[in-house]
Amino acid sequence: MKITSKTFFDRPLKNYGWAILSTFAVTVVGRALTPYLDLVNIVLLYLLPVLVSAVRCGRGPAFLSSFLGVLAFNFFFVPPIFTFEVANVQHLFALIVFLLVALVTSTIATKLRDQMRKATQREQRTLALYELSREIAARTDIDQVLRTLVDKIAETISGTVAVLVPNRDCGTMDQVSSAGGGDLFGEKEYAVARWVMEHGQPAGKGLGMFEGERSLFFFPVKGEDKTLAVLGVRPRTDDASLSPEQRQMIETFTNLAAVVMVRLQLAKEAERAKWLAESEKLHRTLLNSISHDFRTPLASITGAVTSLLEERDIYTPETRQMFLHTIRDEARRMNRFVENLLDMVRLESGTLKLNMKWCDLQDIVGVVLREARDILSGHPVNVDIPPDIPSVMADFILIEQVLVNLLENAAKYSRPDTPISISVSVMGKEVVTTVTDAGHPISGTEREHVFDKFYRQDSLKHISGTGLGLSICKGIIEAHGGRIWTEPSPGYGNRFSFSLAISGELTERGNS
C-alpha cells in the first residue's frame, strides 16, 4: 500500500490542459446540438467541465473552466455570435448567474474532493499503522522490529529506507536494516545521523536542520526520553520531497516501533532479573545441599583416617579393613556427588556430547548391576529383559549413568530389604526401561516436579541428597531424543521409566 500526496491530475500543466480541452469539447458538442437545444440547455453543458475539473483537478482548473465556459458560451452561442457583445440584458444576467453558479459549484466540489482525499489518506495511514502494529507485535527481537519498520515505510513511500543504531563500544552508528535498494548513507549522512541520535530531532531537506541538495530525511526512533535508533528515508527521486502527511505517518510508525522496542528491552531486563533471582536461589540451594551431603562423607573419611593413623596399634585387622571400606564407600559417594554436579553443568551449558553407537541394554544392565552392588546391598534385584530386545542407538556411558542414578534413588527411598526391579520392553518404535521400587508413593502433584533440579519431597527431606540425580537423568534422556516419566507401581511404590527410539533417531541436541 502506497501513501502519496500527489496524483496524476495534481500536476499543474495536466490540470489546466484538461480544463481547456474539456471546455473546448463541450463547445463542439454544443455547436452540434444548437438546432435541437435552446440556450438554457446549452449553458448547462458548461457545468460538466467545471464539476469534473473541480473533482479531478482542483480549484484552479475549475475556476478556469468556469471563465472559459462563460467566454465560450458568449462567443459561440449568445447573439450576436462570434463576438463578446451581449445584445440582450437577459443573456447578460444568465451569464453572470452561470458564472456565480459555476464558481460556487466548483468550490463545493473542490472541498468535497479535498475532504475525500484526506479521508482516503487517513484510512490508508490507519490501515498501514494497523498492519505495522500487527506485524511487529509478533516480533520477539529488536532487529526484527526494525526490519519490519523499514520494509513497511519503504513500501508506503516507494523509496529507500534504512535504520541505524548506536554502537556503544565504538561510538559509531551501525546500519542494521535497509529496504528499497540503493546506497543511502555516506560519510556526511552518518554525521547527520549521529547528530539526530544525540539531539533526538529530525533533520534533512525541508525539516529545518542540515538542509541539503539530496532529498534525504532523518527521523529519531525515540522511547522513554532517549533515542533508540535513527531512521533514514529517501524518496525515489532526489528532487522529491515528503508531504506533511507522509512525515506524520513516518513519525507515527517510528513511535509505534519505539514502544515495541522499549517493551522488548523491558521484557529482556525482566527475564534477566528473573534468571538472576533463580540463579541466586539455585546457588543457595546448591550450597545448602553440598554443605550437608559433602560434610557427611568427609566426616566419615576423616574419622576413619584419623583412627587408622593415631590408633593403628590397637585395632585388629578386621577393624582396620572396616575403616578402609568406609573410606572407599564414602569416597565413591563423594565422587557421585561431584559427577552429578559436573553433568548438570554440562547439560545446562550445552557442552554435553553424545558418543552414539549401537548398544545392547542387557550389557548396560549387567555393567550397572556390578557397579551398583554396594548401593543395592540389602535390596534383592529382579531383572526382566526378554532375549529378543532390539539394540538402541545411544551413549553407553550416559545411559549407564541414568540407570545408576535411578537404582540409587530407588535404594535410597525404598524400605529396607524390599525388592527393586529392572524391566525392559518394546512399546511401538521405542524400547522402554523401567526401575520399580517399594518407596513412599509419589503424589500426582509431586510427579510433575520430581525431575526438576534440586527438588526434594517434603516428606522425605530427612534423607540426604542433592536433588540432582533425576534431573540429570531427564537431561540425558532428552538429549537422546527420548522421554522419562514416573508413575505409581501396581503394588506399593513407584516406577521410573525412560524410552529410547529403536531407529536411533536423534534430536538436534543429540546430534550436536
* Per-state percent for the chain, helix, strand, coil, to nearest 5: 55, 15, 30
Residue 1 lies in a domain: no
**Helix-helix angle 396-413:361-371, to 10 degrees:** 50
- The pLDDT of residue 435 is 92
* Domain final residue, candidates 324, 348, 372: 348
- 83 and 111 fall within a common domain: yes
Number of domains into which the chain is organized: 4
* Domain final residue, candidates 267, 288, 308: 267
Q: Cβ neighbours of residue 107 under 8 Å, at least 6 residues apart? A: 54, 59, 62
Radius of gyration of the chain from its Cα atoms, rounded to whole angstroms: 43
- 356 and 500 fall within a common domain: yes
- 399 and 501 fall within a common domain: yes
Residue 175, SS3?
Answer: strand
What integer is the mean pLDDT of 486-500?
88
What integer is the mean pLDDT of 97-116?
81
Backbone angles phi, psi at 414, to 5 degrees: -90, 155
User: What is the CB neighbour count within 10 angstroms for residue 178?
Assistant: 21
Task: Say if residue 9's pLDDT is above 70.
Answer: no
- The pLDDT of residue 317 is 80
> For residue 354, what is the enclosing H or E element?
none
- 257 and 371 fall within a common domain: no
**Per-chain mean pLDDT for the chain:** 78
What integer is the mean pLDDT of 186-212?
76
- 183 and 212 fall within a common domain: yes
- 118 and 201 fall within a common domain: no
Residue 155 lies in a domain: yes
243 and 5 Cβ atoms separated by less than 8 Å: yes
- 482 and 403 fall within a common domain: yes
Residue 298, SS3?
Answer: helix
Kindly report, residue by residue over 115-168, the tens digit of the pLDDT. 887 887 777 777 777 777 777 777 777 777 888 888 877 777 777 888 888 876
Give the three cell numbers for residue 16: 489546466
Task: Say if residue 112's pLDDT is above 90.
Answer: no
Task: Say if residue 478's pLDDT is above 80.
Answer: yes
Task: Say if residue 8's pLDDT is above 60.
Answer: no
Rounded to an integer, what distance in angstroms lies between the CA atom of residue 45 and that of residue 32? 12
What integer is the mean pLDDT of 101-122?
80
DSSP, residue by residue, 145-157: HHHHHHHHHHHHH
- 507 and 359 fall within a common domain: yes
* Domain final residue, candidates 133, 148, 181: 133
Q: 363: pLDDT confidence band, cut at 50, 70 and 90?
A: very high
Q: 509: pLDDT confidence band, cut at 50, 70 and 90?
A: very low
Query: Alpha helix locations (H) across 33-171?
Result: 39-45, 47-56, 59-76, 89-137, 142-157
CATH number of the domain that residue 398 is part of: 3.30.565.10
Among 124-133, 368-377, 500-509, the least confident range: 500-509
User: What is the CB neighbour count within 10 angstroms for residue 439?
Assistant: 22
Overall pTM surpassing 0.75 (yes/no): no
State what percent of residues in the chain have pLDDT above 90. Answer: 7
- The pLDDT of residue 426 is 92
What integer is the mean pLDDT of 287-316?
71
CATH number of the domain that residue 164 is part of: 3.30.450.40
Among 45-49, 320-324, 504-508, the least confident range: 504-508
Rounded to an integer, what distance in angstroms lies between the CA atom of residue 447 and that of residue 424? 22
Whole-Å CA distances, 117 to 13, 14, 123, 152: 20, 19, 10, 22
- 316 and 363 fall within a common domain: no
- The pLDDT of residue 498 is 94
What integer is the mean pLDDT of 484-508?
78
Kindly report, residue by residue over 210-256, the tens digit of the pLDDT. 665 557 788 888 877 788 888 888 877 655 677 777 788 888 888 88
Rounded to an integer, what distance in angstroms lies between the CA atom of residue 151 and that of residue 159? 10
- 129 and 146 fall within a common domain: no
Q: 462: pLDDT confidence band, cut at 50, 70 and 90?
A: very low
Residues β-bridged to residue 497: 434, 485
- The pLDDT of residue 499 is 93
- 353 and 495 fall within a common domain: yes
How is the beta sheet containing 226-234 ordered, strand by strand? 172-179, 160-167, 226-234, 217-223, 203-204
- 373 and 502 fall within a common domain: yes
- The pLDDT of residue 512 is 39
Domain span holding position 495: 349-511
Kindly report, residue by residue over 49-100, the tens digit of the pLDDT. 888 887 777 778 878 888 888 888 888 888 888 888 877 777 778 778 878 8
Q: Is the dihedral of CA 399, 405, 408, 409 positive or negative?
A: negative
* CA angle centred on 456, ends 452 and 461, rounded to 5°: 170
Q: 506: pLDDT confidence band, cut at 50, 70 and 90?
A: very low
Residue 2 lies in a domain: no
